[in-house]
Each structure stands twice: as C-alpha cells, then as structure tokens.
Amino acid sequence: MKKSLVLAMAMALGVTASAYAANPFSDVPAGHWAYDSIDKLAAAGVIEGMGDGSYQGDRTMTRYEMAQIVAKAMAKGCNVDKLAAEFSDELDALGVRVAKLEKKADNLVITGQVRYDYESGHGADVKVRTNKLRSRLFLNGQINEDWAYYARLQNDDDLNDGAKSDAFDMNQVAISGRIGGLSVKAGRFDQFLGNGNFYDDTMEMIEVAYGKKVNVAAFYGQDTENGDEKDELWGVKASTKLGVVGINADYIQGKDDNTGEKRKVASATVQLPVVKNVDLAATYIKSNKEADSEENGYVVGLSYKGASASEVGSWGLWANYYDQGDLTYYAHTMNGGLCDKFDNDDSQGFKGYGVGASYTLAKNIVYSLEWYDFEGKKGDEKARTLYSRVQFTF
C-alpha cells in the first residue's frame, strides 16, 4: 500500500492505539515510519497481513487486494470516499456499492482534531488553572509513489484571558520518502525519545532511517521549544522486537546556543505484555553529569487497553511512576503535571506518580482524565495536578 494511503486511512479511521501496544507484524519494527498507522489499522481489523505473522509492506499490492481493504474500512465507518471512487469497479465486483463519487479525486487528504483541556494544579507557592481550546488540521499529500508531503495547522485559544484567539499557524511541515533503501524525512515534525519521557515535541531536523527487523535512525537539527533560542541537536535511535518484547534505545546530544554547553542523554525502553490487555513499559535515562545536578532517571508504567475513537464505549487505564533527575527531561510527554515548576534555574528533578483513564463517549469523541502527584528531588517542593480533556477527531 502506498505510504499516503496507510497514513490517510489510519487518520480517517480515527483509531487510537495504546502507547505500549504489541507489534502485530514481525517485519514492522517499532521505529518504522508506518508503525503507528499499521498498528492502528490492524487493531481495527482493516488489514490482516499475510497470515504468517508478517506484513510484507514492500510487496506490490493488486487493485483487488486494495479494494478489499477499502471495503473493510468502509464497513468500519471510515471516510474513504476518494479511495472508494478510485476502486469503485473493484468494489462493485466485491458487492460493495459506491454511488455518486468522482474518480481520480485530488490526492490531498485533510483531517482534523479539536480538543478542550482543563487543568487545575497547585504546589507550595504556585497555582495553575487553565482552560484551553486547541484546533488542528492535518494535510497529507502524495508527491509520487515514493515521496509524500505532510503539514499541520494549529490554533490555540486560552479561554482564561478572554483575548482573541491566535490565527492558525503551520507549526509542522515535512517531506518524506525513500532514497534507495533509506527512509528520509526532513522539515519540522515530532521527535520522540526515551518513550517520550525525555523528549516529545516538534523538532526542525532531517532524519534518515534504515532496516526492518532492527530499525536504526539518525537525525540532526534543532529544537523549537524556546522560540528563537534554539539548541542544536543530533542523535541516533534504534528499535527492534524480540518475540513479544519491544526494545528501543536512543541517544541525543545538544548544544546550548547561549552557553555552548553540551548535553548528552541516552535512554533504553523495554515494552512487553504482562497479561492479556495489560502492557508494561520501563524506561531508563542517563545524562552527562553537571555540577549540582542529578543525571539518572527512570519511568515505569502499566496500561490496560485504550479508548478507540471509532469504538463507542471502549476505554483504557494507565499508571506511571516517575523518578527523574533534572537532566533527564527536556520536553516531557505528560499532560499538565506542572513539570515547568521543576524545570527552572534551580532545577531539582522530580519523583511521583501519574494515573489516567480514557473513554470513548461517542464516535470520534474521547474523554480522558489524569492525576499527577509530584515532589522535588531536592527540597520540599510539591505539585499536584488534575487534568482533563475531551477530544474530537474528524
């Protein structure tokens, strides 16, 4: 299946895979560019692989095979009108009726997301109460069979200050494709390191990846966390799967543009199923030693199932324990949690726990509720946060 079709169909289906979901196919490593989309489509029953535990993503697919996938997606309620129009003849042969659709529609797929976030938190000397509305539009286009285009438009509205909301900003844009046996991606897009416990944010970079059973990627660029004060970053990451156990290793080195100081961080993550529908993830992070700093950290978590946007009534639970020195997090994946309280000039690291639950209220409407309880590793600083979200996808 073409790259844009994998991504577009997964987004149109609106499913959400567990962060610790087991890999359904032996030849799609956790670090592969299409891993999340393939995992979502398999979980939704749209794709089934080759019957021997493999996916064989590089194999040429016939139009009839593609039509079968489109038919399954339509049965799941996925909006695939353009694909249905393109494969209308084959779908008719399969007994799937397609009416009033234009064939050969343009190759730009637009999907969206709107979410409302509420956060209430407090520490020893700070209180936080936020109401935010965020809207996103995702654009996916096919350049040719090997190259694709992606962009994200975002609008953030702080409902507390009563000010007029910001205009839509194109905060991500990327070109991805293949050069020989290499997967290449360049632009401004998400980077995910240390299972998100060290870095989970937008980075301006070029990333080159190679391999199937063992996927290795190298990247070079700069973070976008601090606006004009951008730190130069480069790193490597690798992922593989041993039976049911997923293993990820990441390394990143950064240089502060203001001080010239280097920051080196390495992490290792192990993910595995414990019992049916329950997955364990453990991440260890180590950074270079600096004066009055703590360079080690770890996060251990359990997750149960997960809310799928396409399945009304589906739900999930998770719980994490965090013990992170001040050099082991940069752009953390957690929601709320008053992380910034522990990330300042007197950075001290933090330890504590987070728990959360999610539930699909209606098709493409998911509600989640999270609680964080932290304390500083140096001193008696504390932070407790209640975070809730309702998210709509379309």
Q: Output the CA torsion 188→192→193→194 (10° steps).
A: 160
Could you give the CA distance from residue 106 to residue 82 in angstroms, rounded to a whole number? 8
Could you give the CA distance from residue 331 to residue 320 in angstroms, rounded to a whole number? 17
Do the beta carbons of residue 16 and residue 316 sit within 8 Å? no
The model's pLDDT over 295-305, given as tens digits with 9 standing for 90+, comes to: 899 999 999 99
Q: Which of 84-88, 114-118, 271-275, 321-325 has the lowest mean pLDDT?
A: 84-88
- Does pLDDT of 103 surpass 60? no
- Does pLDDT of 144 surpass 60? yes
Higher-pLDDT residue of 295 and 147 is 147
pLDDT of residue 358: 96
Query: How would residue 380 be classed by pLDDT, with cut points 50, 70 and 90?
Result: confident
- Does pLDDT of 377 surpass 50? yes
Structure tokens at 134: 């965020």
The model's pLDDT over 314-356, given as tens digits with 9 standing for 90+, comes to: 999 999 999 998 888 888 888 865 555 565 445 678 899 999 9
Buried b (16+ CB within 10 A) or exposed e, 245-255: ebbbbbebebe
Do the beta carbons of residue 371 and residue 352 sit within 8 Å? no
Higher-pLDDT residue of 55 and 169 is 169
- Does pLDDT of 262 surpass 80? no
Pair type for strands 169-179 and 382-393: unpaired
What is the average pLDDT across 366-378? Answer: 91
What is the average pLDDT across 86-114? Answer: 63
Q: Note the pTM of the prediction, 2 decimals.
A: 0.70
Percent of the chain with pLDDT over 70: 65
The model's pLDDT over 209-225, given as tens digits with 9 standing for 90+, comes to: 999 899 999 999 988 66
